[in-house]
């Protein structure tokens, strides 16, 4: 029998990486919040790789943290090994990645939710979502409990209509053997929402003691460890090693001999898989001239013997998996504890949403994470915090928070999703940001903490620390501009040894730091006022100095683009009636309903000619008024 | 909806046929009101892409026999309803039909208005529209050929090939940065520099072609200089005679500079005849002389005329000295008379020297050749694809600037993340030139060229 079990400001469906950030943001902003999970032991689960961060994803984690989110802190608390990727390739592409203890991570996240004021965590499968007569959303659980909420955030991950594929075997399931959300898809379609199938996959987990590590290349963490969170002061040390091996001719042969048994190739899976994260059979078929593919063996935690085999996701039958895993050096006798599988699930086309992640046609309904067509824990968490913040702001009658492309990777991710949509699971990459020299992981706080503070997610204590750091950066910039080093034999010896030209007159410290060959470290002995600067203050100052010209260039472009972003397109434009728009442009614009000329210009299928027509149209609108 | 427009769309007075084009909401109705078809079918009932034969009438009077072609929106040049009336041509008939069309409610089309509508209605992209605009205003065959080659994609092909190199580089750099553990080959600085150098060379060649292309499209400011009675006016008349039909007379702004546009081969010359250059004490005349000297310095091309039948005078020498480093042709005129001039002195001062007789017309071909050498059109093959408009020129230049900055940054040892951004800026400028977007292109390339993933 149905009964009303509670009323909330904000209800979050799903307690994965998106749901967690959404629920925490909403509760921390003072909204009475409930978060539902199908299984209480799957909160903050990492059903794929046991790691947080990576290229561009590390940027996202830093940005989430700068706004006042949780992911960075939890990753710092549970990391096993940490590395800054791309050192030497330039500050824009430095990216932090940490191997984490996935159980510890999940436990910590669950506990954080449990302790959070204004937040209730409930185990329940939501089977129905409908609009109730009083304008609120009505959620019904499998056990017929009913909840009312002013705003709902869908963060359903791969649970939504989940179906697992291993060879010819397939069955309804969520990730890691959890129940799927079987009924909610019908309810969403009944609402009039467009949903579609995507697929993703994960490799096998292998028993550590069955692996022969003796000939495998080791991969160790950084020393010292750089933390994700601006709150973490003592990050601790690396605790584990990872290992590298490779596929070979035999692996390739077994996979190709059995390719017809893959549900992807036999056509059983209809969902679109991620291009960037192909299964091993995809890699072998698509890049047939490549003899060998690299793979990484990563521990899943400190109190487990399961090892994750990165790069070897597959939907081939279990017997084939055993055969080809055994062809790999180190894995000759490996015992597969959890076979690799592919999982197909429902998700929404994000072009139905605006940049707050609210559905245009369903006010008060938000989407985040895999539900929006993205892939990855970090992408999910990034959308989660934005959806959570905006749901809370809406309930409280406050202005929405919109992050534009020039502000952050989060803004870029969301703009890409709602403007271009996605045809396969969307992964963040540094190359997706045209402003990447400005959107660096080292300055995420400078860019976003003021926004987090304004919204109300940054504590007084942290705000003070932030302001002090900004002050130090400013002072240090002033100092290096004023400080002149006299020409000395000591200085010239340093310059000589770093292959840069010597000086005969005094030179400003800033001009030395501009030279690509030099840095603070090298100059410390001749820098008279060299003070004990925090490493990240020094880092930011040095980057600002070295890349000044390029940064200025990007700032100029941002200024130009923002002019287009400022040209607002009225919500009620009837694109079908604008003469001169090509048919394709009319359809795309009607569907995506961009908020500005800038956003319209990024829609594929809308040509510069169409944009000119829109600009002309806008000016005629103004003339009429 | 915009008003209906009409114009004669064939050159006045040429060919055996004239076409009057009507475009807009009322095009079919207007055409119907002046046309009696043999079949009896009304124009308003005709389908798109069909023709009808009949008579054009003006208040019951038959003006001409004509074929009427009907295009229905959006399947027409402008994207609107279009009727084209093909009649027997001749200035009188064609103009009369147009007058009747206008009397029925059409408005005379502004220059380029059909194309503007085609562009606004999404019938053509920016580059094509600009090219068509150029065709409309083009004078001379080479100019039309150059404009056509943009439309047909020769410029497009050149831009695309440059862009492909840059996108390849950006995709490699992106894959290398975004997939640090995927065995993406290291970006080799030498080959990066080499590719950028190739791009730079091609962009420079495109940009250089713009100036020569501009000469063909817009003509070159040409001054005819020389002391009185060397034959400047005769030369001017000779040049004018080459292609009388398109000569336009622009009233001179001063009593001593006369302007007119003539064709020398494929090159339009905007001619001005200057007063003689000589020292004088007369204040009024000295103003004229100073003006002529200024004009010499700013000219794109100078014809310095000398009289072959008399020895070089002091004034001639003065002129020769003024010509140093100028884009000048020394024109030694009156070769039909007995030659008394020392042409070696002239040749030693001016690289391009021709002997002509403005009176008989001999030497004109040689003059044309020397002019082509000076303004850079002789080595220009417009069919190769050249930049046609100022906008295209600016985009190509900003692409070049980014490529040059990238090369500088590499030599300074700047990290590759900044280089990538500069390469992407260059791609963006080229995409702006042709009207597409960048990041998608790069991302797609990453996936098709590199085996990446976890």
Q: Which of A276, A312, A551 to mutate to test the interface with B (most CBs of B within 10 A)?
A: A276
Rg over CA atoms, chain A: 26
- Tell me how far apart the alpha carbons of residues A251 and A290 are, in angstroms, rounded to a whole number: 12
pLDDT at A462: 96
* Lookup result for tokens 């990290």: B415
Per-residue confidence in pLDDT tens, chain B, 454 aa: 468 999 887 654 444 577 899 999 999 999 999 999 988 889 999 998 898 999 998 887 888 888 999 999 888 888 889 999 988 766 667 778 888 898 888 888 776 677 777 766 766 655 665 565 555 444 445 555 555 455 456 777 888 899 999 999 999 998 888 888 877 888 888 999 999 999 999 999 888 877 777 777 667 888 888 887 788 777 877 776 643 323 333 332 333 444 566 777 777 787 776 655 555 666 666 666 677 777 777 788 899 999 988 888 888 888 888 887 788 999 998 888 888 888 888 888 888 999 988 878 788 888 888 888 887 766 666 556 677 666 678 788 889 999 999 999 999 888 999 999 999 999 988 887 776 543 344 444 444 444 443 3
User: What are the counts of helices (DSSP H) followed by strands (DSSP E) for chain B?
Assistant: 15, 14
Q: Which residues of A touch B447 (CB under 8 A)?
A: 275-276
> In this structure, what DSSP letter does residue A387 have?
H
Residue of chain A nearest B172, judged by CA positions: A431
Is residue B185 less than 8 Å (CB to CB) from chain A? no
Six-digit token pair at A348? 């929404």
Q: Same structural domain for residues A327 and A376?
A: no
CB of A277 closer than 8 Å to CB of A49: no
Which of A586-625 are b and which e, b meaning 16 or more Cβ less than 10 Å from the residue's Cβ?
Answer: bebbeebbbbebbbbbbbeebbbbbbbbbeebbeeeeeee
The enclosing domain of A211 has a CATH number of 2.40.30.260
Q: Which residues of A touch B401 (CB under 8 A)?
A: none
Q: Which of A398, A430, A455 is the last residue of a domain?
A: A455
Q: Same structural domain for residues A593 and A472?
A: no
Average pLDDT, integer, range A209-215:
97
pLDDT at A171: 97
In a domain, residue B60? The reply is yes
pLDDT at B444: 45
- Tell me how far apart the alpha carbons of residues A374 and A349 are, in angstroms, rounded to a whole number: 10
B126 with A613: Cβ contact below 8 A: no
- Measure Cα distances from A113 to A36, A74, A162, B240 in Å: 11, 12, 25, 89
Q: Same structural domain for residues A338 and A373?
A: no
A286 with B451: Cβ contact below 8 A: yes
In a domain, residue A172? The reply is no
Q: Same structural domain for residues A295 and A434?
A: no
In this predicted model, what pLDDT tens digit does every residue of A116-142 receive, in sequence order? 999 999 999 999 999 999 999 999 999
The enclosing domain of B337 has a CATH number of 3.40.50.300
Kind and range of the H or E run holding B220:
strand B220-225
Q: Same structural domain for residues B12 and B83?
A: yes
Q: Same structural domain for residues A489 and A438?
A: no
Q: Same structural domain for residues A76 and A152?
A: yes
In this predicted model, what pLDDT tens digit does every residue of A425-467 receive, in sequence order? 999 999 999 899 999 999 999 999 999 999 999 999 999 999 9
Residue of chain A nearest B183, judged by CA positions: A294
Six-digit token pair at A517? 């060959």
In a domain, residue A558? The reply is no
* Most confident option among A245-249, A496-500, B289-293: A245-249
Q: Does the model's ipTM exceed the 0.95 cut?
A: no
Average pLDDT, integer, range A108-112:
98
Q: Which of B340, B375, B410 is the last residue of a domain?
A: B375
Q: Which residues of B touch A93 (CB under 8 A)?
A: 177-178, 417
In a domain, residue A169? The reply is no
- Tell me how far apart the alpha carbons of residues B424 and B196 are, in angstroms, rounded to a whole number: 12
In a domain, residue B128? The reply is no
Average pLDDT, integer, range A150-172:
97
Q: Same structural domain for residues A231 and A340?
A: yes
Name residue A195's beta-bridge partners.
A348
B452 with A276: Cβ contact below 8 A: yes
A89 with B180: Cβ contact below 8 A: yes
In a domain, residue B129? The reply is no
Q: Same structural domain for residues B247 and B346?
A: yes
The enclosing domain of B66 has a CATH number of 3.30.1360.120
The alpha carbon of residue A150 is apart from the nearest alpha carbon of chain B, in Å, by: 38
- Measure Cα distances from B154 to A42, A167, B150 in Å: 60, 51, 6
Q: Same structural domain for residues B303 and B368?
A: yes
Q: Which residues of B touch A579 (CB under 8 A)?
A: 1-2, 120-121
In this predicted model, what pLDDT tens digit does every residue of A348-387 receive, in sequence order? 999 999 999 999 999 999 999 999 999 999 999 999 999 9
Q: What three-state secondary structure class fits A99?
A: strand
Domain that holds residue B415: 151-211+386-449
Q: Which of B103, B123, B143 is the last residue of a domain?
A: B123
Query: Of A73, A18, A27, which is closest to residue A384 (Cα–Cα)?
Result: A18
Mean pLDDT of chain A: 93
Which of A246-281 are b and which e, b meaning 16 or more Cβ less than 10 Å from the residue's Cβ?
Answer: bbeeebbebbeebbebbbbbeebbebbbbbbbbbbb
A283 with B453: Cβ contact below 8 A: yes
Closest Cβ–Cβ partner in A90, A432, A585 for B418? A90
pLDDT at A276: 72
In this predicted model, what pLDDT tens digit does every residue of A515-565 receive, in sequence order? 988 989 888 888 877 667 888 898 999 999 999 989 998 898 888 777 788
Query: Of B85, B75, B18, which is closest to residue B47 (Cα–Cα)?
Result: B75
Q: Same structural domain for residues B78 and B23?
A: yes
pLDDT at A144: 97
Percent over 90 (pLDDT), chain A: 78
Q: Which of A429, A576, A587, A603 to mutate to test the interface with B (most CBs of B within 10 A)?
A: A429
CB of A431 closer than 8 Å to CB of A615: no
Q: Which of B342, B375, B408 is the last residue of a domain?
A: B375
In a domain, residue B270? The reply is yes
CB of A533 closer than 8 Å to CB of A480: no
Q: Same structural domain for residues B244 and B263?
A: yes
A609 with B442: Cβ contact below 8 A: no
Is residue B435 less than 8 Å (CB to CB) from chain A? yes
Q: What three-state secondary structure class fits B127?
A: helix
Q: Same structural domain for residues A444 and A466?
A: no
Average pLDDT, integer, range A91-106:
96
The enclosing domain of A573 has a CATH number of 1.10.150.570
Residues 6+ apart with CB under 8 A from A233: none
Count Cα neighbours of B67 within 13 Å in the Cβ-side half-sphere: 10
Kind and range of the H or E run holding B23:
strand B18-23
Closest Cβ–Cβ partner in B119, B120, B180 for A85? B180
Q: Same structural domain for residues A129 and A230?
A: no
Single pTM value for the model: 0.77
* Lookup result for tokens 């004669």: B8
Q: Same structural domain for residues B18 and B93?
A: yes
The enclosing domain of A429 has a CATH number of 3.50.50.60
- Tell me how far apart the alpha carbons of residues B421 and B418 are, in angstroms, rounded to a whole number: 5
Name residue B355's beta-bridge partners.
B332
Domain that holds residue A605: 566-624
pLDDT at B206: 87
The enclosing domain of B440 has a CATH number of 1.20.120.430
Q: What three-state secondary structure class fits A18?
A: helix
The enclosing domain of A500 has a CATH number of 1.10.10.1800
Show the 3-state SS of A538-587.
Answer: HHHHHHHHHCHHHHHHHHHHHHHHHHHHCCECCCCCCHHHCCCCCHHHHH
Q: Which of A344, A377, A402 is the last residue of a domain?
A: A344
Count Cα neighbours of B162 within 13 Å in the Cβ-side half-sphere: 30
- Tell me how far apart the alpha carbons of residues A381 and A5 are, in angstroms, rounded to a whole number: 28
Q: Same structural domain for residues B327 and B270?
A: yes
- Measure Cα distances from A301 to A79, A106, A232, A423, A609 in Å: 9, 11, 21, 34, 55
pLDDT at B260: 65
What is the count of structural domains for chain B? 3
Q: Same structural domain for residues B239 and B352?
A: yes
The alpha carbon of residue B377 is apart from the nearest alpha carbon of chain A, in Å, by: 32
Closest Cβ–Cβ partner in B177, B432, B447 for A430? B177
Q: Same structural domain for residues A518 and A605?
A: no
- pLDDT band at residue A17 under the 50/70/90 scheme: very high
In a domain, residue B186? The reply is yes
In this predicted model, what pLDDT tens digit does every residue of A463-482 receive, in sequence order? 999 999 999 999 999 999 99
Q: Same structural domain for residues B329 and B440?
A: no
Phi/psi for A332 (5° steps) reads: -55, -35
In a domain, residue B454? The reply is no
Interface of B with A in 48-87 (CB under 8 A): 79
CB of A186 closer than 8 Å to CB of A259: no
Q: Same structural domain for residues B288 and B432?
A: no
B418 with A277: Cβ contact below 8 A: no
* Lookup result for tokens 């590390």: A58
| Residue B255: other Cβ atoms inside 10 A | 8
Q: Same structural domain for residues B433 and B362?
A: no
- Tell me how far apart the alpha carbons of residues A25 and A15 are, in angstroms, rounded to a whole number: 13
Q: Same structural domain for residues A313 and A292?
A: yes
What is the count of structural domains for chain A? 4
pLDDT at B436: 59
Query: Of A116, A22, A68, A122, which is closest to residue A395 (Cα–Cα)?
Result: A22
In a domain, residue B136? The reply is no
The alpha carbon of residue B200 is apart from the nearest alpha carbon of chain A, in Å, by: 20
Q: Which of A323, A344, A365 is the last residue of a domain?
A: A344
CB of A600 closer than 8 Å to CB of A589: yes
- pLDDT band at residue A78 under the 50/70/90 scheme: very high
> In this structure, what DSSP letter does residue A458 have?
S
Q: Same structural domain for residues B249 and B321?
A: yes
In a domain, residue A560? The reply is no
Q: Same structural domain for residues A11 and A99?
A: yes
């Amino acid at each position: 029998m149905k009964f009303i079990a509670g009323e909330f400001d904000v209800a979050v469906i799903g307690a994965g990486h998106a749901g967690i950030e959404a629920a925490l943001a909403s509760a921390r902003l003072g909204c009475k919040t409930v978060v539902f999970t199908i299984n209480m032991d799957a909160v903050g689960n990492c059903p794929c790789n046991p790691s947080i961060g990576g290229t561009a994803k590390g940027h996202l984690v830093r940005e989430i943290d700068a706004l006042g989110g949780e992911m960075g802190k939890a990753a710092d608390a549970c990391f096993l090994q940490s590395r800054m990727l791309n050192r030497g390739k330039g500050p824009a592409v430095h990216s932090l990645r940490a191997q984490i203890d996935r159980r510890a991570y999940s436990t910590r996240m669950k506990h954080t939710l449990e302790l959070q004021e204004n937040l209730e965590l409930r185990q329940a499968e939501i089977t129905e979502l409908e609009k109730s007569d009083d304008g609120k959303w009505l959620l019904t659980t499998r056990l017929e409990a009913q909840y009312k909420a002013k705003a709902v955030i869908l963060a359903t991950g791969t649970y939504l209509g989940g179906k697992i594929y291993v060879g010819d075997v397939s069955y309804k399931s969520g990730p890691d053997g959890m129940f799927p959300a079987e009924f909610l898809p019908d309810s969403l379609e009944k609402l009039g929402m467009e949903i579609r199938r995507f697929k993703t996959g994960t490799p096998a987990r292998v028993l550590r003691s069955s692996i022969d590590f003796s000939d495998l290349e080791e991969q160790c963490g950084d020393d010292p460890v750089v933390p994700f969170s601006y709150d973490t002061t003592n990050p601790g040390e690396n605790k584990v090693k990872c290992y590298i091996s490779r596929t070979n001719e035999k692996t390739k042969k077994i996979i190709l001999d059995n390719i017809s048994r893959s549900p992807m190739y036999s056509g059983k899976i209809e969902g679109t898989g991620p291009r960037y994260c192909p299964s091993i059979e995809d890699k072998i078929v698509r890049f047939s001239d490549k003899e060998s593919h690299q793979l990484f063996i990563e521990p899943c935690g400190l109190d487990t013997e399961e090892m994750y085999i990165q790069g070897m996701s597959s939907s081939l039958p279990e017997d084939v998996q055993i055969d080809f895993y055994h062809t790999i050096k180190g894995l000759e006798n490996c015992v597969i504890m959890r076979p690799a599988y592919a999982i197909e699930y429902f998700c929404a086309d994000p072009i139905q949403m605006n940049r707050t992640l609210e559905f245009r046609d369903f006010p008060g309904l938000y989407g985040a994470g895999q539900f929006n067509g993205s892939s990855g824990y970090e992408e999910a968490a990034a959308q989660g915090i934005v959806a959570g913040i905006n749901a809370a702001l809406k309930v409280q009658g406050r202005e929405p928070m919109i992050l534009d492309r020039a502000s952050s990777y989060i803004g870029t991710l969301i703009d890409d999703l709602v403007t271009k949509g996605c045809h396969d699971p969307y992964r963040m990459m540094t190359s997706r940001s045209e402003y990447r020299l400005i959107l660096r992981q080292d300055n995420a706080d400078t860019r976003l903490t003021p926004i987090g503070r304004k919204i109300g997610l940054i504590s007084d204590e942290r705000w003070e620390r932030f302001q002090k750091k900004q002050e130090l950066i400013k002072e240090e910039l002033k100092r290096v501009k004023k400080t002149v080093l006299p020409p000395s034999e000591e200085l010239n010896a340093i310059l000589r040894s770093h292959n840069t030209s010597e000086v005969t007159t005094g030179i400003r410290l800033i001009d030395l730091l501009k030279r690509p060959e030099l840095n603070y470290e090298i100059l410390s002995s001749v820098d008279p006022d060299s003070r004990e600067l925090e490493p990240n203050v020094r880092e930011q100052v040095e980057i600002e100095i070295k890349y000044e010209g390029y940064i200025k260039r990007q700032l100029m472009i941002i200024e130009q683009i923002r002019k287009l972003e400022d040209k607002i397109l009225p919500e009620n434009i009837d694109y079908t009636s604008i003469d001169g728009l090509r048919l394709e442009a009319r359809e795309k614009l009607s569907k995506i309903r961009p908020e500005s000329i800038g956003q319209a210009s990024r829609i594929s299928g809308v040509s510069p000619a169409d944009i000119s027509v829109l600009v002309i149209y806008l000016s005629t609108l103004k003339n009429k008024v | 909806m915009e008003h209906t427009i009409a114009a004669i769309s064939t050159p006045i007075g040429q060919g055996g046929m004239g076409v009057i084009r009507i475009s807009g909401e009322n095009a079919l109705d207007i055409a119907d009101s002046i046309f009696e078809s043999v079949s009896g079918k009304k124009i308003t009932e005709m389908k798109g892409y069909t023709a009808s034969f009949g008579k054009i009438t003006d208040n019951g009077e038959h003006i001409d026999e004509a074929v009427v072609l009907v295009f229905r929106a959006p399947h027409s040049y402008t994207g609107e309803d279009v009727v084209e009336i093909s009649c027997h041509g001749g200035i009188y008939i064609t103009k009369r039909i147009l007058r009747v069309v206008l009397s029925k409610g059409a408005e005379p089309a502004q220059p380029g208005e059909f194309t503007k509508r085609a562009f606004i209605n999404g019938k053509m992209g920016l580059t094509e529209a600009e090219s068509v605009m150029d065709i409309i205003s083009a004078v001379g065959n080479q100019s039309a050929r150059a404009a056509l080659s943009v439309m047909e994609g020769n410029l497009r092909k050149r831009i695309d090939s440059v862009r492909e190199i840059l996108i390849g580089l950006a995709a490699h750099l992106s894959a290398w940065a975004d997939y640090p553990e995927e065995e993406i080959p290291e970006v080799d600085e030498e080959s990066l520099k080499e590719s950028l150098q190739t791009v730079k060379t091609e962009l420079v060649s495109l940009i250089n072609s713009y100036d020569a292309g501009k000469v063909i499209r817009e003509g070159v400011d040409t001054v005819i200089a020389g002391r009185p009675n060397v034959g400047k006016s005769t030369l001017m008349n000779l040049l004018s005679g080459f292609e009388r039909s398109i000569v336009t007379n622009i009233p001179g702004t001063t009593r001593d500079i006369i302007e007119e546009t003539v064709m020398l081969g494929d090159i339009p010359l905007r001619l001005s005849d200057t007063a003689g250059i000589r020292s004088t004490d007369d204040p009024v005349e000295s103003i004229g002389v100073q003006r002529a000297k200024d004009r010499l310095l700013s000219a794109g091309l100078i014809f310095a005329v000398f009289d072959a039948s008399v020895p070089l005078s002091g004034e001639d020498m003065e002129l020769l000295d003024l010509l140093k480093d100028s884009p000048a042709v020394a024109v030694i005129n009156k070769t039909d008379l007995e030659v008394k001039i020392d042409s070696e002195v002239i040749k030693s001062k001016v690289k391009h020297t021709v002997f002509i007789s403005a009176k008989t017309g001999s030497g004109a071909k040689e003059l044309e050749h020397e002019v082509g050498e000076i303004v850079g059109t002789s080595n220009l093959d417009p069919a190769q694809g050249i930049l046609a408009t100022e906008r295209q020129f600016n985009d190509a230049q900003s692409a070049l600037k980014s490529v040059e900055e990238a090369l500088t940054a590499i030599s300074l040892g700047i990290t590759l993340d900044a280089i990538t951004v500069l390469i992407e800026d260059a791609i963006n400028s080229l995409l702006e030139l042709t009207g597409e977007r960048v990041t998608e292109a790069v991302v797609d390339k990453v996936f098709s060229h590199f085996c990446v993933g976890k």
